[in-house]
Structure 1
Amino acid sequence: MKRTLQSLMLGCCLALMQGCVAKSNSFTFTADLPPNFSYVASVYYVPAKGQTCTVARADNLAPQFNREWRTEYKPNAQIEIRRTRNGCELVVDRVELEINAIYGPDWSDFGREYARVSVRAELPEAVKGTFNAAGESEFSGQCQWLFRTIGPNRYITKILDCKKTDASGALLKNRPFAAYTLDQLPGKTVRLKIKLADEEKPGWGDTWVKVPGGWKRCMGKSFEDQRAYCNGNYKDFSRFRMPDGRTCTIYPGCTENKEVTP
């Protein structure tokens, strides 16, 4: 009888202790990215539902994570869900994400794309993200390099193009995106998972010709012709400069090959 009473008392104490545990006021954002990729996260807050107050922008600046992404990158960001400024209760509204990817040695040799996490008080079930038993939710995307040339020496430069993917891995039209409700997020982890496409593509059509081993750049009218469309001429090609300084005729392998397929 004594042991039973002690067990009941212990159970009651545990229940009381658990009831007093404060609910987390943050969630973790993280990203699984390809090599030489990183992200910058900017977090924006708005007055909570029912609040009639406003806060000047100067007093409600968006916290940033990985602002120095080249030198101090960390994949995990701990994001506050609710905060108070000038007596006004604010809640997280969205996390704007810059996806940065380096492709060459110079400071300017990088591409940038964007993704977003939106947060609302309520969302339709069809839109709302879901979490697994471990408290993790994942949204995915695929990025692809689009290459082109610039300047009279035709230096290679690249554009980063990222699209959301569905559960089967199929590409969608929009950029990577996820949405959650405020009550879903405390103590949870939201993960962005990005895959890099196996092959690069020209920035736009009729400027490069596919050949075994890569692509050849159409000459156009001359080296001064910046657009240099092929316009049916699949015999005259130009050299170009790689980001590492090499002069090449086939991208990306820089190997000679005379076979051309229009």
Structure 2
Amino acid sequence: MGEEKSILLYGLRRERSCFFDALVEGEIKITEEICRINKGLRTYIIDNYNEEFYHIMTQQQKRFNSPEAWQQFSKEWLNYVSSGNKELALWKEYYHCLEITSKTQEKLMKDPIKQGCKNGIDMAINHPNIMIYFVLDGLEMDIVTTKAKEYKTGYTGVELRYVYRRWSEAKESIVFFLLNEKIEAPWIKGLYVKDWQEYGDKRMNRLLKEKRYEKQPMILQKSPLTITQENETKELKSLKALQELATKKAVVKEYKGKQIQENCELSIC
């Protein structure tokens, strides 16, 4: 018998809750994965881990005044998990996958919940004892793939796009469900394969463009004022050069005049 899997549920809040109820009632048949649902919903969603981590960061943020302090926090933050959340079974895996470095500090400070959602997916990728059930009910897939800002999906759209980007690593650890039935990933089969292909192409083009831009030296566009000032400077330099040339000619002329006069005086003598 294989190792029992720990389950994380992803999807829109209401649809995810309905899926969990159906799972508990035995209405959803899971044959491939070895799992056991014997606790409440809060045990099987990444939200509680993320909210606890966010709370810890809020409480400790006064310490983040140097790279050394941030590094120290990255080592010890797990010690600050509240007693009410210590019962959650996957803290060790959450801690292991949450990369806290000087490079990730800005993203974590800006939106720790978003980074935590991605972290749950990383947990499933890196730990074979974790399986994600991703509920697709309620998602407008064409809008998710275009990242339309007016469409409010919480973090579910972000999570799904992240799974797509890491699919080669995640495909053994994530199962998709729609209408309580197991289905293929939406970019593999279904009505939205083309939408996901377009999303992937646009993302690739953007990354290539950014990479090319990084290699090119920065060229600052000159303003009309700057161009006028440069032209005036050139004109002044030209005028100065002409004045210097005229001065030199006058000196030479004066010198030649003196020489002629001296020669004449010598001849008379």
TM-score when normalising by structure 2: 0.21
From the CA coordinates, give the structure whose radius of gyration is larger.
Answer: 2
Give the structure with the larger helix fraction: 2
TM-score when normalising by structure 1: 0.21
Give the structure with the larger strand fraction: 1
Higher relative contact order (CA 8 A, sep 6+): 2
